[in-house]
Amino acid sequence: MVREMHLNAFLSSVGHHQAAWRLPQSDPLANTDVKHFQHLARVAERGRLDSLFLADHPGLWGDISRQPAAALEPTVLLTVMAGVTEHIGLIATASTTYNEPFNLARRFASVDHVSGGRVGWNIVTTATLIAARNFGLDELPPHGDRYARADEFVGLARKLWDSWEDDAILADKEVGIWGDNNRLHPAAHDGTYFSVAGPLDVARSPQGYPLLVQAGSSEDGRDFAARHADAVFTVQKTLEEAQAFYADLKKRAARFGRDPETVTILPGIVPTIGATQAEAEAADAELGSLIKPEHAIKQLVSILQVSADELRLDEELPAHVTTDRHIEGAQGRYALVVGLARREGLTVRQLIGRLGAGRGHLTIAGTPEQVADTMQHWFENAAADGFNIMSPVLPSGLEGFVDHVVPILQARGLFRTEYSGTTLRDHYGAARPTNQYVDGLG
C-alpha cells in the first residue's frame, strides 16, 4: 500500500496570524460565529482532510486589545461542526490538569457517539499560571507533577471508556433485559491523583477511545506522546530539526513496545499561498505590517519570562535568555523561540515578525506547487507523516489550501481522493482499541 500523508486543519477563528483579524475581509467576531466554523468544517471535508483541530486554554490570555481572545469551549464547537459534516475527524484540546477524568471521559465519549466515531483528544497539561488561578491554585503545578497526573488521567480514561463491553447492551424486549451487568467493568481506580469508581454512564463509543493526540516537546512530553499518542502535533522550523524529532519520537515509541508506524507525526506548517511567490510574499508582508510591536513585546515577555524593559526592539535577546535556562511553563515553546532567535541572530523586532507569522512553525509563502514540494520533501525524508495546516488567514487560507494544494498532492499520489473509512481512527490508520477487560487480562 502506498504511504499517504495525513492532513489536519488547525482552526483558529480568523487565522493563525495574530493580525489576521485586521484584514478587511476578516470577521472580528468569528470566534463565536457558528456559521463561520461550520463553513470551515465543510471546506476541510471538501478537501478530504483527516481532521480539524481546536486548541484550547481554560483561561483568558491577559490582553484582549491585541487580537480576538475568547474561544468557545471546544467540545461544544466540535459538536456544532459534527452536525454539518459526515467524514472529517474532530479533534479538541482538553487539559488533564483542570478537568475531572469522569467528566472529560464522558464528554469525549459523547462527542464520539454524536459524530459517529469522529472525535479526537489533544491531551495537554496546560502550562500557564493564568489557568492555574482559575482552578484554585496560586501557582503552576510543577512540570513533572502535571505529566504524572496526565499519565494517570489517560490510564483512568481508558478504564472508563472500556467500562462497557461493546456488546453490553442486549436490548431484549421480550425477556425485559436491557443491559448485561456482567459486561460492565467499574474502573475501581484508586491512584495518586484520582479515585474513581466508574463505570462510565455512556456505552462504549464507535471508536472505543477518541484518537489520542499530543504535542509535548519536553522530555516528559515526548515520552508521554510515545506512550499514548496516535498522532503528534509538533513545531519544527527546519528539515533537520524535524528529522531529529521524528527519529527520536519513533524510537521512543518502539522503546515503549509500540509499532512506530502507529504514531503519526504532524509538524505544523503555515502556508501563505499565491499565484506567484511574489504575490504570496506580498500577502505576508501586508499581514506583518498590521502587527503592533507593543502587543508583540507583551507576548514575548510571557513566553520568555523576562520583563519588558529587558527587551530592545533593535537588539538581540538579553544574554541570560539561553536555550537551557529552566522556566516553569511551556518549556518547548520557550526553547523554540530562543533557539530561533539565537540560530539566526535575530533582533527582537525581527523575531516578532517571524513569530507573528508562524509562532515558530515552518512558514512557506509561495505557489501551490512550492507548498506541495516542501510538504513532499519533508514527507519523503523522514521528517513528517503529514502536516498540521495552520492557515494564517481563515477561511481564505484553508480554501486556498484545499482548492489548490490538495489537488497537487492528490495528483502526485500523496493524499487520498476519497475517504475510505468512516471514523477518525480509520483516517489515521489507528486501530480501534481492544477492550482491556475483554481482550487483555479479562
Interface pick for a copy of itself out of 42, 46, 194, 262 (rule CB under 8 A) = 194
Looking at beta carbons only, is 95 or 363 nearer to a copy of itself? Answer: 95
- The nearest distance, CB 17 to a copy of itself, in angstroms, is 13
In sequence order, the 6+-apart residues with CB closer than 8 A to the CB of 102 are 160, 196, 198, 200
Q: Which three cell numbers stand for residue 90?
A: 474532530
Q: State the nearest-atom distance from the C-beta of 383 to a copy of itself, in Å.
A: 34
Residue 192 in the binding site for a copy of itself (CB under 8 A): no
Q: Which of residues 124-163 bind a copy of itself (CB under 8 A)?
A: 130, 133-136
Which one-letter amino acid corresponds to residue 225? A
Nearer to a copy of itself, 106 or 349 (CB): 106
Residue 245 C-alpha cell reads as 524529532
- Beta-carbon neighbour count of residue 426 at 10 Å? 20
Q: Does position 57 bind a copy of itself by CB under 8 A?
A: yes
Burial of 130 (0-12, 13-18, 19+ CB in 10 A): middle
**CA dist 54 → 39, 134, 285, 385, 390 (Å):** 15, 21, 26, 20, 11
Check binding of 285 to a copy of itself (CB under 8 A). no
Contact (CB, 8 A) for 297 and 308: yes
Asked if residue 111 binds a copy of itself (CB under 8 A), the reply is yes
Is residue 181 involved in binding a copy of itself (CB under 8 A)?
Answer: yes
Give residue for cell 527587551.
311
71 vs 313 by CB, closer to a copy of itself: 71
Residue from 103, 192, 276, 417 touching a copy of itself (CB under 8 A): that is 103
The residue among 29 and 285 lying less far from a copy of itself, judged by its C-beta, is 29
Describe the crossing of helices 348-358 and 331-344 by its angle, rounded to 10 degrees. 130
Are 205 and 166 in contact by the 8 Å Cβ rule? The answer is no
Of residues 11 through 30, those in contact with a copy of itself by CB under 8 A are 19, 21-24, 26, 28-29
- Residue 147 annotated as binding site: yes
95 assigned to a ligand binding site: no
Give the residue, chosen from 86, 100, 167, 328, that forms a contact with a copy of itself under the rule CB under 8 A: 100
Question: Where do the H-state alpha helices sit in 143-276?
Answer: 143-161, 219-228, 239-255
Calculate the CA dihedral of residues 384, 356, 225, 75 and round it to 10 degrees: -110
From the CB of 101, what's the least distance to a copy of itself, in Å? 9
**166 contacts a copy of itself (rule: CB under 8 A):** no
Range 346-385, binding a copy of itself (CB under 8 A)? none
Is 93 annotated to bind a ligand? Reply is yes
Helix (H, G, I), strand (E, B) or coil at 10: strand
37 touches 53 (CB < 8 A): no
* Interface segment toward a copy of itself; rule CB under 8 A; list 168-176, 256-264, 351-359, 360-368: 168-176
Q: Is 387 in the site for a copy of itself (CB under 8 A)?
A: no
Q: Tell me the closest approach of the beta carbon of residue 371 to a copy of itself, in angstroms.
A: 28
Binders of a copy of itself among 26-55, rule CB under 8 A?
26, 28-29, 32, 34
51 Cβ neighbours under 8 A, 6+ residues apart: 8, 9, 44, 88, 89, 90, 91, 120, 211, 424, 427, 428
Instruction: Tell me which residues in 58-77 interact with a copy of itself (CB under 8 A).
Output: 58-60, 63-73, 75-77
Near a copy of itself by CB under 8 A: residue from 55, 184, 306, 382: 184
Instruction: Look at residues 2, 13, 3 and name the one whose alpha carbon lies nearest to residue 391.
Output: 13
Q: Contact region for a copy of itself (CB under 8 A) — 93-101, 235-243, 254-262, 409-417?
A: 93-101
361 is in an annotated binding site: no
C-alpha distances (whole Å) from 409 to each of 145, 404, 405 are 42, 9, 6
Q: Which residues are annotated as a binding site?
A: 56, 93, 143, 147, 217-218
